[in-house]
Structure 1
Amino acid sequence: MKQLFLRSWCNKQTVIICIISLVLFVSVFSVVYYLSTKKSIMLEMNRETIEVSTHAKTVEQLLQEQNIDVAAHDKISPSPSTPIVNDMAISWKQAKKVTISVDGNQSKVWTTETKVKDILKEANIEVSEHDSLSQELDTELGAENEISIQKAFQVTLVDDVNKRKVWSTSTTVANFLKENGIQLNEFDRIKNNLEDAITPQSKIVVVRVEKVIDVVENSLNFEIIKEQDASLEEGKETVVTEGQKGLIIKTYESIKENGKVVAKNLKSESKGKEPKNQVVAIGTKKIVRSKNSTDTTAKKESTVSDSTVNPNSMDSKSTISYDSTEPAIGSEFYVIATAYTPYCKGCSGTSATGINLRLNPDMKAIAVDPSVIKLGSKVWVEGYGTAIAVDTGGAIKGNKIDILVQSETQAINWGVKRVRIKVIN
């Protein structure tokens, strides 16, 4: 009986062991099978990639399995409804809200992009090379999630005499000058107010101002002193001492704006050389002549001599008769012509170029404005002939000349005329 019991107990124990072994086998097999049926997935989450094993059937289930809360603006690739396959790559990019300010006008956008240029492109905002951005286009968006843009516009800049269009994002005139590196010298000025706001219609005007010191030397005319000389025959004159012109030095301060003189002030005046007066002897010696033929001849010779010395004694009907052949070449224009004589009251008889006109009665000469006709020029004058520009005159300014004649009568007969001239050389 005892042996039968032991045999029965052993059979039961064997069965239990077999059952336990079977359960363990099934469990292990199930686990192994479960694990072996999982799919391997590469999941990218905001630039971080992890490997995931899953039994999820769709992308959406996988994301839920990973406790990823997908917002409306997030980007999932492939789409959430896509079935899961082994070795699949899934990307989840979380969107963030970015504030974009264009010339102070703000807008907010949701984006998964990280670079500034990609965010602006997605927001359909174009920028040019002249625009000013708070962050460079190729940089990653900063933590503040904000992009500021100042749109550039063209402004008219007049600097000195140069006018051009300049791109600017400045808000005031002062900022514009600094942005474009425009330096102002000591006397330069800006026509605009530095605090004025800049707009596309703005015109910035820079006036370049300079002060220039000019030293001008002017001649001083000498006086003619006439002295009576009892040893000199009455009616005759002779120069005892040649006159010499003096020199006066004037210093001017000229103010130029953009190269043009707008003001000229006399700062100082001094005499460089005093003029030397010219002394002329006037004959007072009376000559008594006999009535014989010899005396008559002498008287005639004396009369001729007097006429030569002083052409004012010529017949009042005397006129000017010159060769007026017109040259083929020359710079031609019209002038107002008057006439003068070297024997006028107060005249020295010496031209501005130093020629004694009284000793050259046959010379054809004219007085000119040297700024119009250079001294020494050969000039053909209508009705007068070819003359040399040897003299100047206080009243001879611009297109005006004075022709040389040998008597006051000739000067009066000439009068004032508008004549054609040719400057030959």
Structure 2
Amino acid sequence: MSLTDSLNAEEGQKAAGSRKGIFRIVPPPIVAMIIVLILAGVVIAGFAWAQKTVTLVVDGRETVVKTTSSTVGKLLKEKGIVPGPKDKVDPPVSEQLKEGSRVELMESHHVTVEAGGEITEFDTTAATVGDALKEKNIALNQGDLVAPESGYRIAGDVKIKVTRVRVAEEVKNVPIPYSVRRDSNPEMARGITRVIKKGSNGVEQQRWRVTYHDSQAVEHRLVDKKTVTEPVPGIIQVGSGQSVSRGGRDIRFSRAMEIVATAYTYTGRNTASGRAPGYGLVAVDTSVIPFGTKLYIDGYGYAVAADRGRAIKGNRVDVFLESERDARRWGVRRVNMYILQ
């Protein structure tokens, strides 16, 4: 082998040795780290791709959440939400989730409705009072009152009161009282009256607007009125005289009364005032005529109030007569009685 060949061979061996040295510089742990980083990047990219932004509404309360759950049911489970047997989930729990999905859980509540005197109870997922009423076909008429109001959000068991409001027009005939003219007559005893002309009421027709809450009238408003019949005034004469002539004698009195006079006789007992019964003693209503009052009764004569009886009330007097025969003959009479001065 020539020197030149020998040198070339030596240079070739060095070069070869130099290339082998390059592969030994990279240690195995670095290679493993690079592989882990690559896999992590793939996983992170996959997670980011699988994560979605979803709107979750639970009983009207709205929340925006990020989730990797693939279905509605898994999302609810992820959030620790267990729907009740009567709750409503929209969309269904089997529905696949995607970016921007909206999931709504409507919880069921017990509702009691009182409307028109009837009570209805049911469970509902309706969001508002108005929705619950529509669900049961409970229609609201114009003016009806609802408590709580129709827009009230149902967040638990609730009692709803529907008051039916009705407005009606009613016509009434109302009497117009007649007036009375009182004329003094000195020829008549004081306290005695006589009807000269009988009065009569007129009639006023009234139109009312009445507001009812259910069956109870709560407001009356007069809309119109007119006179149908005018009242007719009455005329009476009022006695102003204080003396009468009886048997040729003038009897002066403070007041006269028109009375109903009956008669009684001996009962075996004294009068209520303690006096023994006898002619000239009469039974009276002591709230009208006190005991001891001196009287003159047409058809009977002078008398004193000294007794009382169960049936003697108001302008009624029982005169004493000596026999049952006389008492029966007297009967019942309408006469004037004078309270003496």
Normalising by structure 2, we get a TM-score of 0.43
